[in-house]
Structure 1
Amino acid sequence: MLDLDPPAWLDDIEPPGSLSDYGLPDNVVPFRSDEPAEGMSGERPECTIRPSAFVWRDPATITPRQWIYGHHLIRKYVAATIAPGGVGKSTLTIGDAVAMASGKPLLGLKPHGPLRVWLWNGEDPREEIERRVVAACLHHDIEPSEIAGRLFLDSGRDVPIRIGETGANGPKVAMPVIDALIAAIRDRRIDVLIIDPFVSVHSMPENDNGAMDAAVKAFALVADRTGCAIDLVHHSRKLNGVDADIDAARGGSAIAGAVRSARALNVMSAEAANTLDIPESERRSFVRIDDAKANLAPPSAAKWFKLASEALGNGTADRPEDFVAVAAAWKPPDALDGMTADKLLTVQRALHEQCFRENAQAIDWAGHAIGKVLAIDSYGDAGKKRIKKMIAVWIKSGALKVVPIEDIQRRPRPCIEVGEWAAPV
């Protein structure tokens, strides 16, 4: 039985005598008057707010969280995709839309079945959006029938959406627009709404935390009333060489606080490209996706996509065909990609009883012998880094081991020797 009687110590507390006693700033005026509120007739209604008692439920009866696209989109919540301009935000979200509508994990995230997706782009004309969707379908071999009736496209040039603006008394949310969004989503049974970019649906000051909190929560209301998931594509501020994260979202920190999931996009760094032996001319085609905020799921390891080009074959006598950017799933090559048991055995035979050094700075470094038999440049930065990773993996697996061997001056030097021999195929 719940004890609803107030505790005895509550009677001993005197009401504070000023606003500062509440911990409120002096310019915050609490409504405590018994007079009718302005614009209301009759008596002022009594407050009917009551705390709701918690009642234990069998955990097995609690509905699982309704993730519908990896751990990025979940029903009844707002997510954000944050990146600087020119990184590939729109290209990625178009790929996401095709993946979700087809029900296929085209970019590494698994959709929860074929979904009904509404993609709203506030910058491009509809024809350009269609061009990019068609390119994504061609690149991923998606037949028109696989997304028919489940993908909805609109341009802000034809279907403007403006959920908030700044008026004479400050920022305000346009509730008729919110109601219209709710009705449209229910009518089409939309599972996912993508707004690209977020700045195109409001004219509120981005540095006003109150305004941004209201704008994001307006979409949260839409998500809650419709059961859909919403992805707000948002620009980051100028980063000056620093990677984008949740705090890099342009505008007030309220955007980061109001969404329940966020991902940040960053082009591959020069250092990473060097390690992976990717030419500088191609580096910006590789984009890393980081979990910038994961309130409802554990952060996942970074994922990648590659910006590819797809030809539409729509050339005419006086105009060349269009080549359109598409997002393609990509995974950094593993140090042991292409490595077979026979190749490992060749490496072990080259190292066996040769006393090659573990130190990569040594002239007789084991990596030089490995590079020779595997045709890898052990003196170049990329090849050297790859071989060092291979040696580390083989030591961890037991295929190689580090043993102290005395040099000619009888000083022990760490050397690489064969551990457990690989079985020939």
Structure 2
Amino acid sequence: MTAITPQPVAFIPPGAPEPIKATPFVWRDPANIAPRQWLYGRHLIRRFFSVTVAPGGVGKSSLTICEAVAMASGSSLLGEGVSGPLRVWMLNLEDPRDELERRVSATMLHHRVAPEALGGRLFLDSGRERGLCTATQARDGATINSPEVAAIIAEIEAREIDVLIVDPFVSSHRVNENDNGAIDLVAKEWGRVAERCNCAIELVHHTRKLGGEEASSESSRGAVALLGAARSARVLNRMSDAQKADAGVSSDPNTYFSIDRDKANLAPPGKREWRRMVSVDLPNGDSVGVTEAWEWPDDFEGLSAADLLAVQRAIQDAWKAGNPPRASNQAKSDWAGEIVASVLGMDAAKDKARITRMLKTWVASGALREVQHEDAKRNLRPCLEVGEWATE
């Protein structure tokens, strides 16, 4: 009879982490893999946290308030897809409750969201009443405040929260924001909360001082570890004076800002979107800024193929008259844009940027063609002639 040699059993001391094991991949039909659970556009997704970065005063708090109302009511107030209605908890750690109530009320009035549409799904708390500290830092390093995190988890689970918004991130911890290790510890903890509670978390963050430069998500204050751990990051930028001139809103007193989703690990980056802050008057006499959707003007809005055909005929007539239309808007005379302005009833000076873009589009489409033509001094100059004729 062969003796059986007993195999040694590894001793795992109490409290030690579980052994690390390599799990073989097993193919399964992708149709049977659960799809990602996007909750708001392609920014907020269950089991992950996302970040919104913006300079001060651009409108990030008003934006997230409007988005919270949209999600709680299940309404697409800003044109984003909403997987709702959802239960949303806003933790604003800077403003007092009455200011938050003004903003939410103004948002609901402006977007015509009735109180009953929220259905008790919106939760609002102020850091003035009860602060939040998820981590602290001492000489020996950063430490997660486990009781605080446990309290957040308990409330999310008790209220069945789908989306938690923390504004601003810097007020939710007490670690050195320039310490990558400490911020990574805090960020990963938020990721674990999102995983454990099957919710989406939005962390609102400030940018560093930019000195007039346009911000990106990497312009956020402090360590880059926060952005590294996030699954989606978007950045807000106030509309520049040059952009206002291009858009034709230079005299508009409202505030305009863009949204760029420049980090998107789980979806392709989206195109630049625009929002506008408008003033809403409350019955108590207060005026409150509210975010609404805004579309960049379409250069060809209101124009038809007949209008293009009229421009082409006028350009052809200019050639017949011996005045080839110049392609460059820097030309001292005979710029093709002056013909466009005359035919379409525009102002060649005020609408210069728009007309330049229109000509560029027509050249790209083949409706116009750039050619080299000798001027009176036998110098070659780029001019525009008719390409493929438009049909009405």
Under a length normalisation based on structure 2, what TM-score does the superposition of the two structures give?
Answer: 0.88
Q: After superposing the two structures, state which structure 1 stretch, 140-149 or 335-344, moved more.
A: 335-344
Asked if residue 351 in structure 1 is aligned to residue 351 in structure 2, the reply is no
Q: After superposing the two structures, state which structure 1 stretch, 404-413 or 387-396, moved more.
A: 404-413
* Code of the aligned partner of 2:91: W
2-structure distance, mates of 1:308, 1:338: 26
CA contact (8 A) 1:35 1:44 kept: no
Where 2:317 maps in the other structure, the secondary structure is coil
Give the 3 Å change call, closer, same or farther, for CA 48–35 of structure 1 in structure 2: closer
Q: How many residues align?
A: 376
1-structure distance, mates of 2:390, 2:118: 52
Match of 1:29 in 2: none
The correspondence of residues 163-174 of structure 1 with structure 2, limited to 5 A, is: 163-174=134-145
Out of 264, 281, 291, the residue aligned to residue 235 of structure 2 is 264
1-structure distance, mates of 2:162, 2:57: 28
Out of 246, 260, 281, the residue aligned to residue 275 of structure 1 is 246
Match of 1:309 in 2: 279
Match of 1:181 in 2: 152
Asked if residue 153 in structure 1 is aligned to residue 124 in structure 2, the reply is yes
Instruction: Kindly state the Cα deviation for residue 116 of structure 1 after the two structures are TM-superposed.
Output: 1.1
Instruction: Kindly state the Cα deviation for residue 349 of structure 1 after the two structures are TM-superposed.
Output: 3.7
Instruction: Kindly state the Cα deviation for residue 105 of structure 1 after the two structures are TM-superposed.
Output: 2.0
Match of 1:115 in 2: 86
Match of 2:299 in 1: 335
Match of 1:25 in 2: none
Match of 1:100 in 2: 71
Q: After superposing the two structures, state which structure 1 stretch, 118-127 or 343-352, moved more.
A: 343-352
Where 1:373 maps in the other structure, the secondary structure is helix
Match of 2:62 in 1: 91
1-structure distance, mates of 2:43, 2:191: 15
Tell me the percent identity. Answer: 46
2-structure distance, mates of 1:132, 1:218: 30
Match of 1:387 in 2: 355
CA contact (8 A) 1:405 1:415 kept: no
Where 2:35 maps in the other structure, the secondary structure is coil
Match of 2:384 in 1: 415
Asked if residue 55 in structure 1 is aligned to residue 26 in structure 2, the reply is yes
Q: After superposing the two structures, state which structure 1 stretch, 59-68 or 266-275, moved more.
A: 266-275
2-structure distance, mates of 1:257, 1:93: 22
Give the 3 Å change call, closer, same or farther, for CA 148–273 of structure 1 in structure 2: same
2-structure distance, mates of 1:207, 1:404: 56
* Code of the aligned partner of 2:359: I
Residue segments in structure 2 that go unaligned for 5+ positions in a row: 1-9
CA contact (8 A) 2:306 2:390 kept: no
Instruction: Kindly state the Cα deviation for residue 280 of structure 1 after the two structures are TM-superposed.
Output: 6.7
Asked if residue 290 in structure 1 is aligned to residue 254 in structure 2, the reply is no
CA contact (8 A) 1:358 1:402 kept: no
CA contact (8 A) 1:403 1:417 kept: no
Q: After superposing the two structures, state which structure 1 stretch, 168-177 or 203-212, moved more.
A: 168-177
Instruction: Kindly state the Cα deviation for residue 154 of structure 1 after the two structures are TM-superposed.
Output: 0.7
Give the 3 Å change call, closer, same or farther, for CA 43–312 of structure 1 in structure 2: closer
CA contact (8 A) 1:83 1:264 kept: yes
Match of 1:239 in 2: 210
2-structure distance, mates of 1:154, 1:139: 22
The correspondence of residues 118-133 of structure 1 with structure 2, limited to 5 A, is: 118-133=89-104
Where 1:354 maps in the other structure, the secondary structure is helix
2-structure distance, mates of 1:44, 1:344: 76
Match of 1:31 in 2: none
2-structure distance, mates of 1:44, 1:119: 36
Instruction: Kindly state the Cα deviation for residue 100 of structure 1 after the two structures are TM-superposed.
Output: 1.2
Give the 3 Å change call, closer, same or farther, for CA 120–341 of structure 1 in structure 2: same
Instruction: Kindly state the Cα deviation for residue 387 of structure 1 after the two structures are TM-superposed.
Output: 0.9
CA contact (8 A) 1:352 1:418 kept: no
* Code of the aligned partner of 2:355: I
Q: After superposing the two structures, state which structure 1 stretch, 356-365 or 168-177, moved more.
A: 356-365
CA contact (8 A) 1:401 1:416 kept: yes
CA contact (8 A) 2:180 2:225 kept: yes
Instruction: Kindly state the Cα deviation for residue 410 of structure 1 after the two structures are TM-superposed.
Output: 8.1
* Code of the aligned partner of 1:372: S
Out of 169, 174, 180, the residue aligned to residue 198 of structure 1 is 169
Q: After superposing the two structures, state which structure 1 stretch, 210-219 or 71-80, moved more.
A: 210-219
CA contact (8 A) 1:210 1:254 kept: yes
Give the 3 Å change call, closer, same or farther, for CA 214–376 of structure 1 in structure 2: same
2-structure distance, mates of 1:412, 1:133: 62
2-structure distance, mates of 1:348, 1:104: 45
2-structure distance, mates of 1:307, 1:166: 38
Out of 83, 102, 112, the residue aligned to residue 141 of structure 1 is 112
Q: After superposing the two structures, state which structure 1 stretch, 131-140 or 143-152, moved more.
A: 143-152
Deviations 1:121-148 (A, max 9, x none): 0011111111101111111111112112
1-structure distance, mates of 2:274, 2:121: 26
Give the 3 Å change call, closer, same or farther, for CA 84–412 of structure 1 in structure 2: closer
